[in-house]
Structure 1
Amino acid sequence: MSTTSADVRVSRTRAALVTAVEEVLEQGSWAELTIGALCTRARISRPTFYQHFPSMADLLGATIRHRLDQTRAEMCVPADGPEVLAAALVRLHAERGQYACLSAEPTAYVQVQAAFEDWLVGRVQEAFPHADPVAASYAAGGIARVMGRWLATDSDRPTPEELARSLWLLNRAVLELTD
């Protein structure tokens, strides 16, 4: 088998598993958020699952990255402004009920949080390519922390656009110091 066909199969299997997780989250059928149930939905075997993801938490992290990348790809704005952050906030807020099941699974929650921070580091590094990597990680961690608290609050909070602008301005000041 050629490397290209193997790569296609790997991509197809990973995509099928991410899609299966997204379906379960959208339906709110959290009892089906198990490796066995997801394998059935994705029409793969359990050993195949483990060839692609070491754990459920890793699959959930991949799903979050996919959703955030999808949000960014759907946008018609520059990738280096607060608009990307605002779009991510809007999407996460709209889908926050779908992630309620993660609070019961600390390992999955940590993996999802790490995936989100990794995604943010990438966006920060794109916007500030000369910034120190430690500063980019620091900024992304701060953004993730504030966004997590914002998502957990139901009242008396800024709009996604207002929060994104504030976070962008704060982090721009930090990152331009290291530029």
Structure 2
Amino acid sequence: MTSDTRADLRVERSRTQLAEALRALMRTRDPRDISISALCAEAGVSRPTFYQHFSSLDEVAAAGIEERFVRLHAEQRASGESPCDGPEASYRLLVGFLGELGAERASWQRTIGSGTAFSASRDAVESWLVDRLAERTPAAGPAVLRYAAAGFLGVVRAWLLQDDGPDRPSADDLAASLVALSARVLGPTDL
């Protein structure tokens, strides 16, 4: 193993530790009460290590969401249960992600509700989603992509904040609605 490979593994490990520690802290604390020092203590890394990888807690939150998508996609590929690319794979990925968000709903409600601490992470996730949508629908203009990403995240946010009951859709039903809406806004896509 070369030193570059070891360095890459250390970087990945530190970033993952920080993202997982943030998820753990969000389960028990109000996001406004999470400091970089508390995150570093939870992750077992130093503040300099934190700043080697991130400049803010919002960046950690956005990286954690992106890592979840990457992990879910890898699990999909490994399972071989459905196609690894294309609309069905994207749909299964979306259902898996919504299922995970729903399972941690209380944490996400504290994070994405009104007046929460992680508004910049929402912006970062929206920008990340715009980039993914642009890859899948290169003909869509920047305004359409931003509109689709913001609307997509707004629907997910409303779903997470919605009380349990017969009107609250399942992750499967929400994913189907989001795919249909995205197709109307963006045209045919692999979302």
TM bracket, shorter-chain basis: 0.7 to 0.9
Rate the CA distance shift 1:158–1:5 in 2: closer, same or farther, 3 A.
closer
The correspondence for 1:174, drawn from 162, 185, 189, is 185
Alignment of 1:42-121 (within 5 A): 42-75=43-76, 76-78=81-83, 79-81=85-87, 82-102=91-111, 103=113, 106-108=116-118, 110-121=119-130
Rate the CA distance shift 1:70–1:139 in 2: closer, same or farther, 3 A.
same
Q: How far did residue 54 of structure 1 move?
A: 1.0
Q: Is the CA contact (8 Å cut-off) linking 2:68 and 2:97 kept in structure 1?
A: no
Write the letter of the residue equivalent to 1:175.
L
Q: Is the CA contact (8 Å cut-off) linking 1:60 and 1:111 kept in structure 2?
A: no
TM-score scaled by length of structure 1: 0.77
Cross-structure match for 1:10: 11
RMSD: 3.0
The correspondence for 2:148, drawn from 139, 146, 154, is 139
Q: Which one has a larger percent helix, Structure 1 or Structure 2?
A: 1
Mapped partners of 1:45, 1:6: distance in 2: 17
Match of 2:187, SS state, is helix
Greater CA deviation, 74-83 or 43-52? 74-83
Q: Can you give the 5+ residue segments of structure 1 that lack an aligned partner in the other structure?
A: none
The correspondence for 1:158, drawn from 132, 149, 169, is 169
Match of 2:23, SS state, is helix
Mapped partners of 1:111, 1:126: distance in 2: 23
Counting matched residue pairs gives 175
